Structure 1
């Protein structure tokens, strides 16, 4: 298939490179993103005022796309705040401290739990569950919040989502586009997911231990509190020890019931997240009523406002970046209009297809190309939007080479999801970053080296499998 790249593709590619350079230099990308959106709008519409409007409308589109994540994070923070101030969270997490005694144990136990829950319910609800319960335990034994966020990213949004062995949403999209069965794709992806997971987690662990020893990695949790230390101390004595113990037992039971309901009602993704968010709201209400009694009506609102302030403060720097990259996918038509060529599959997918069409065909080049195509399509921060493209390119390459279609498709799927599904794109890592109270840009920088090493080794292994 011939892909005709026009000025919009080249502008998007140029600003993508500029954004990556600015990120690597640890500078803020907001101005670059706004200029990129503005220029794309002007070039696409040939109108100055339409270009100005594009900036604002792209922000609206990004906020709408991210709103579900903003809400769940805000609500979890609201609930966590009152649980911390009343001392309930300390009692609730105390049993876990018997098993998690060191940063090493925290790393692997949290990671494995995150992976298992993500396989069944996908990472977003898993982040809420794991973050609310396990983060305080990890911090208590000396594992910084930034490291906890990295663990949740790598094990959940990386290993679990890139394989998606249980729900099989990702393999279905990729396999259909590649013209092969889902079972064939899953079988081919197992060795690659294992290699990617082992290499990335071990690399991240080694780097984490090194930085902990040198003091480079420290706790960076930013707790948003509405009360002073004296007020917090007073709240701790508002509830009796028996009441706090009852809540410490009830809250995990309620979240465990959420898991059972998810299984029985087959709730996944956004629906599962909504169940957890609704449960957190009712926990906040119940605790507030018992603590504040007649003043509960006003205090519930204050806690929710605190959570929303936290959520939007965390998302604020990310919205301009997300707004720019959403224009590389479905956001372009929604924000600017249907102004791309008729054959276009979106700017990002067009660039990926152009790359695939510009290289010679053999097993080694095919593997490198599929990893590159998957990674490029993951730049929109979705992880799933480029799966159909990765599958179709794998089908073309597999037919030309005469073998390896399933392996190539699995490799493209791994590249797309690891990059865009929640490890290397700042707004895609926000669920984990916000729950842990860390900077999403710093989190992506910490994920970068382990993920790139993992993708490199996995690509080399795929070359020998094809």
Structure 2
């Protein structure tokens, strides 16, 4: 089949078959690592006809994916390392203490905890933010009349939902999707802003309405009674109260200065990530030395190790999947070599052009497809492992439509992260559920209808934006 002079080769069809297989395995909640590796090998062996080169290609694709993702893995690891120090020293308690005075009733508790969680998650990522906030604000919220499950919902929807799906500061999610879609990170971020707002507003309001309804009916237990609560031990002797107050002011000020610098010097993508990462490293060093005195050098390394363990645990499943999807764009030439047809614009672009020649794609079909693909890829409970697929398909559809790649990419990213990043899939809800001592399955059940309503409304809005 010709597509602007490009014949779709066996490589293109192999790529399509493995995309379908990956989606199928995700729907069945099975791991896709093996499928991705076989897909990489098949593409390499068909392209080169060389067994040795094909086996090497699998390893080289991993190196390429890790190289592309390294800044994202690094920033998240460092931020988690710093959050461990904040928890251990009790600085986090001082940081959130002013907000405990605001929480006077269930409504204020829900929205205050939610908005605070969203802001902190932009800088620290949601899982560390849950630990930073939950242990301190949960008792305050319960005293104000908000059930433990309501606290978990607020932290979950605002943190793992709104903050993570936009990821405007750390920019880990938009970097993955932008790379897969072959467009600048800034384009994905700007396109995601209206969609993140719509999704966030609709979902949190609907969730709050249902929460208030069940509270009035007396269906909500105030205190969580599920399993053991996971809270970091605080060592009050590491810092004086004055030192904790000083650092509680210094840390937010440092990150606010970063945000101002990003705006003034037009820093985006990797540059913005580097600025936040460098600031985090210096804060980590300063806190470790101040808190642990003579043991500061050793403790710095210990905190970094904890951070890297978390970072690679989160991104371990992402690397094989990203390695496969990078082959759909410029990564093919860099990993396997010049084996595509002469007029090829990359496997995904070729497929998009060919699709446009066969199927009269509309903005509505594209938007519904991206939301569906994003939601399906989120079923593995990571949220991040499938957003490269969403980026690739957005590129394919955007090419076919002739516009809207950034909006479609952002839509797929939002759907994948809301479903898999920690608001619907029970095993992704564990941080918020554990800290509030509630069942992750009950939390997922409470989130389901609000998130689905939010996704439907956001998809409709995206159709008009396209």
TM-score normalised per structure 1: 0.68
Paired residue for 1:419?
412
- What's the CA shift for 1:71? 0.9
Contact 1:255 1:276 in 2 (8 A): yes
Of 158, 170, 177, the residue aligned with 1:151 is: 158
Task: State how 1:155-166 maps to structure 2 within 5 Å.
Answer: 155-156=162-163, 158=165
Deviations 1:114-147 (A, max 9, x none): 98x8xxxxx9x93437776676325643467797
Q: Which residue does 2:85 correspond to in 1? A: 82
**What CA distance in whole angstroms lies between the structure 2 residues aligned with 1:414 and 1:87?**
41
Per-residue CA shift, 1:407-459, capped at 9, x if unaligned?
xx45x533222214783599999xxx9999699xx9xx999987776565556
Residues in 2 aligned to 1:353 and 1:49: alpha-carbon distance in whole angstroms? 33
**Matches for 1:330-345 after TM superposition, within 5 Å:** 330-345=330-345
Give aligned pairs, total: 409
CA distance change for structure 1 residues 357 and 372 in 2, over 3 Å: closer, same or farther?
farther
Query: Measured at CA, do residues 461 and 301 of structure 1 come closer, stay the same or move farther in structure 2, by a change above 3 Å?
Result: closer
Q: CA deviation at 1:67?
A: 0.6
Provide the C-alpha distance between the structure 2 equivalents of 1:240 and 1:464, rounded to a whole number of angstroms: 55
The Cα of 1:242 is off from its aligned counterpart by 1.7
* Unmatched segments (≥5 aa) in structure 1: 118-122, 165-169, 177-181, 226-231, 396-408
1:110-259 equivalences under 5 Å are 126-128=122-124, 136-138=132-134, 140-141=137-138, 142=148, 148=155, 151-152=158-159, 154-156=161-163, 158=165, 199=202, 232=233, 235-259=235-259
1: CA distance, partners of 2:33 / 2:324: 10
Residues 109/25 of structure 1: CA separation in 2 closer, same or farther (3 Å cut): farther
Task: Report the CA distance shift for 1:134/1:260 in structure 2 as closer, same or farther (over 3 A).
Answer: farther
2:275 pairs with 1:275: yes
| Residue matched to 2:143 | none
Q: How far did 1:356 drift?
A: 2.6
Tell me how far apart the structure 2 counterparts of residues 351 and 207 of structure 1 sit (CA, whole Å): 44
Task: Give the Cα–Cα distance (whole angstroms) in 2 for the partners of residues 127 and 73 of structure 1.
Answer: 10
User: 1:322-362 CA deviation, whole Å, 9 max, x = no partner?
Assistant: 1112222222121111222233332223333333322247x
Matched, 1:33 2:36: yes
C-alpha separation between the residues in 1 aligned to 2:68 and 2:357? 31
Q: Are 1:264 and 2:264 an aligned pair?
A: yes
Q: Do the aligned residues in 2 keep the contact of 1:203 with 1:450 (CA within 8 Å)? A: yes
Partner in structure 1 of residue 291 of structure 2: 291
For structure 2, the 5+ residue unaligned runs are 139-147, 172-176, 378-385, 434-439
Q: Deviations over 1:41-80 (max 9, x none)?
A: 1112112112211111111111111111111111111111
Match of 1:405 in 2: none
**Quick one: structure 1 residues 326 and 351, their matched pair in 2 at CA, closer, same or farther if it must change by over 3 Å?**
same
Distance 1:66 1:43 in 2: 27
1:55 corresponding residue in structure 2 = 58
CA distance in 1: counterparts of 2:25 and 2:309, whole angstroms: 27
Q: Which residue of 2 aligns with 1:66?
A: 69
Q: Are the aligned partners of 2:25 and 2:32 in contact in 1 as well (CA < 8 Å)?
A: yes
The alpha-carbon distance between structure 1 residues 57 and 199, as it changes in their structure 2 partners (threshold 3 A), is same
CA contact (8 A) 2:87 2:132 kept: no
1:6 Cα deviation from its structure 2 partner: 2.1
CA distance in 2, matches of 1:241, 1:200: 39
> For each residue in 1:83-134, what CA deviation from the matched residue of structure 2 results, as whole angstroms up to 9, or x when unmatched?
211111111122233446789767755776798x8xxxxx9x9343777667
More displaced stretch, 344-353 vs 293-302: 344-353
Q: Given the alignment of the two structures, is residue 19 of structure 1 paired with residue 6 of structure 2, yes or no?
A: no
**Separation (CA, whole Å) in 1 of partners of 2:372 and 2:349:** 11
C-alpha distance in 2 between matches for 1:315 and 1:130: 15
RMSD: 5.0
Going from structure 1 to structure 2, the CA distance change for 1:200 and 1:42 (only over 3 Å counts) comes to farther
Give the whole-Å Cα distance in 1 for the aligned partners of 2:322 and 2:103.
36
Distance change in 2, residues 1:89/1:196 (3 Å): closer
2:420, 2:204 → 1: CA distance? Answer: 22
Structure 2: how far apart are the matches of 1:198 and 1:5? 43
- Secondary structure in 2 aligned to 1:236? coil
Cα distance change, pair 314–374 in 1 and its aligned pair in 2 (3 A): closer
User: Could you tell me the TM-score, scaled by structure 2's length?
Assistant: 0.68
Partner in structure 2 of residue 406 of structure 1: none
Q: How much has 1:192 moved relative to structure 2? A: 7.4
Q: Distance in 2 between matches of 1:346 and 1:218?
A: 50
Match of 2:12 in 1: 9
Helix, strand or coil: the match of 2:7? Answer: coil
- TM-aligned CA distance change 1:95 to 1:255, over 3 Å: same
2:365 matches 1:368: yes
| 1:84–1:281 distance in 2 versus 1, CA, 3 Å | same
CA contact (8 A) 2:74 2:311 kept: yes
Distance in 2 between residues matched to 1:312 and 1:56, nearest whole Å: 17
